[in-house]
Every structure is written in structure tokens, then in C-alpha cells.
């Protein structure tokens, strides 16, 4: 409000401010809600003062920092709520004929608890290895848990085509499928990840060990290599299986 009276910017703001006071929601309404609903008395007084007091450069800079922090905190809270939110399926369960709870990020939420740039994205590593980590972390892969979602197949029916012993989700693929046992044991020893007494790897603990990255770039590279090699092996095995089926059909047709 410290602008000259003939300032276009000042007059535009005054017009929006008056419309807000009359009940018409606009950009000023959003600013008002942001400042008054904060726990920062400095921001509240800034709104109530409406700039009629002359602010020093220091106070203006402090205002910018406080607003930036407020916006960041609000965004991170909204992000966390969205990641941990259960949503209804857009299709009906074929068995019970009712809406069922579902969240594509059910695995992601296990290890992603902070909004930050992960260390594997900064590590000096093979680009294909980094992509493999990203695909598995974000469920942007070709596992049946994801492919089945696209075709409205109930989650419990998205079975692993190689072992037929469980739903092919990220945990089954990386930590449980017997087809990849030798490769899994080799890499897990390098990562110091060991099974429990029943021979199984606990789901939450193991996924966090794989995807809750610290600052150790060496570990990032090992995990990247593991995810890439596992994906490549799966693709080759499925390709061989398809070829075998085609040969059988050709022989008996």
C-alpha cells in the first residue's frame, strides 16, 4: 500500500480488497486466509495493518521468509495427506459388487515419509539403474499389481505369472518370489539385509531398507543394480514363457 496513489498495481489491489470485503472471493481472499489462519502473529499483524505502516527492508525480507515457510509447510502437509489417503476404486469388485478401498501409493507410503529429494537421484550411478529404482518406488512398472489395476482386476487376483504363489506387488517381486531367490540373496547380503527365522523378509522393514535412502551413494548404486537386474530377469523369463506357449500352440494346432 506504500505505492503512489496513481499506481495501477495499488489501485488493482484496492479494488480486489474491497470486493473481498463485500463477499466476492478472489486472490486477496486466499492471501487473507493464509495470513490470518497462520500461527504467526507477525503475519497476522501484517494483514491487519494493510501496509500503512512503513516497513524497513529487514522487515520486508522477514515477511517474505515467513510467508515462504508457511506455504512450504502447508504444501508438505497437503502432500503427506494425499500420499496417505485411501481412495475408492472407480470400478466395482467383481465378487462382492461393492466399492472397495484402494490407494495406488500403498507401497510408496511405507518408505516415503518426508518431502525431499532422495539421495539416489543425486548419486553418480547408471541412468538405467536410477530409472529402475524410480519405476519400482512409484509403481510405474509392469508388475501385475499395476497392470491389473488398468484392467479392473481385483488386487487379490493379480497373481505372479512366474511362481503363481502370490500377488505380484513390489514386495513379492523384490523380496519373496522364489524365482529370483539366488539373485535376491546375493544382493541382500551386500546390503546386509537378512531374513527372519521363518526365512521370510519382513515387508515394511525390508522395503524401508531398500528405498529409505541415506547419504551412502555406494548403497544407492547397489540397490539400483539390484532393481535393474531383477527387472531384466523378469522380462527375459516372461518372454521365454510366451515363446514356449506359442510353440506348444503351434505343435498342437
For the cut 70, the answer to whether the pLDDT of residue 174 exceeds it is yes
The string of pLDDT tens digits covering residues 25-83 is 998 998 888 888 888 888 888 888 776 555 677 877 888 888 898 889 888 988 888 88
pLDDT in tens, 76-131: 988 888 888 765 444 444 444 444 445 678 888 888 888 889 989 999 999 999 99
Q: What's phi and psi for 87, nearest 5 deg?
A: -120, 155
pLDDT at 1 over 90: no
User: Reduced to 3 DSSP states, what percent helix, strand and coil does the chain have, rounded to the nearest 5?
Assistant: 60, 0, 35
- For residues 102 and 146, the answer to whether their CB atoms sit within 8 Å is no
Q: How do residues 223-236 score in pLDDT, each as one tens digit?
A: 999 999 999 999 99
The arithmetic mean of pLDDT across residues 191-208, rounded, is 89
Q: Please compute, for residue 151, the number of CA atoms within 13 A of its CA located in the half-sphere on the CB side.
A: 9
Query: Which residue did the predictor score with more confidence, 168 or 93?
Result: 168
| Whole-number Å distance between alpha carbons of 206 and 228 | 18
Closest CA to 89 of 156, 169, 149, 168: 149
Q: Where are the domains of the chain?
A: 8-80, 118-252
Residue length, the chain?
A: 253
The DSSP code for 50 is T
Amino acid at each position: 500500500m506504500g505505492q503512489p496513489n496513481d499506481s495501477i498495481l495499488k489501485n488493482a489491489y484496492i479494488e480486489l480488497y474491497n470486493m473481498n470485503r463485500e463477499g466476492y472471493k478472489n486472490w486477496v481472499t486466499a492471501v487473507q486466509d493464509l495470513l490470518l489462519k497462520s500461527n504467526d502473529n507477525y503475519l497476522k499483524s501484517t494483514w491487519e495493518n494493510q501496509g500503512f505502516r512503513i516497513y524497513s527492508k529487514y522487515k520486508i525480507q522477514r515477511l517474505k521468509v515467513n510467508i515462504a515457510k508457511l506455504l512450504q509447510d502447508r504444501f508438505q502437509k497437503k502432500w503427506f495427506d494425499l500420499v496417505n489417503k485411501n481412495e475408492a476404486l472407480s470400478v466395482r469388485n467383481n465378487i462382492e459388487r461393492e466399492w472397495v478401498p484402494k490407494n495406488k501409493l500403498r507401497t510408496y507410503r511405507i518408505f516415503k515419509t518426508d518431502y525431499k529429494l532422495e539421495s539416489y537421484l543425486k548419486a553418480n550411478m547408471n541412468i538405467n539403474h536410477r530409472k529402475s529404482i524410480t519405476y519400482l518406488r512409484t509403481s510405474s512398472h509392469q508388475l501385475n499389481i499395476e497392470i491389473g489395476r488398468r484392467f479392473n482386476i481385483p488386487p487379490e487376483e493379480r497373481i505372479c505369472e512366474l511362481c503363481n504363489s502370490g500377488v505380484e506387488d513390489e514386495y513379492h517381486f523384490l523380496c519373496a518370489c522364489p524365482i529370483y531367490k539366488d539373485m535376491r540373496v546375493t544382493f541382500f547380503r551386500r546390503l546386509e539385509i537378512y531374513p527372519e527365522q521363518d526365512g521370510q523378509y519382513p515387508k515394511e522393514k525390508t522395503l524401508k531398507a531398500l528405498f529409505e535412502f541415506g547419504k551412502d551413494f555406494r548403497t544407492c548404486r547397489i540397490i539400483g543394480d539390484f532393481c535393474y537386474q531383477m527387472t531384466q530377469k523378469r522380462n527375459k523369463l516372461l518372454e521365454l514363457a510366451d515363446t514356449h506357449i506359442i510353440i506348444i500352440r503351434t505343435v498342437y494346432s
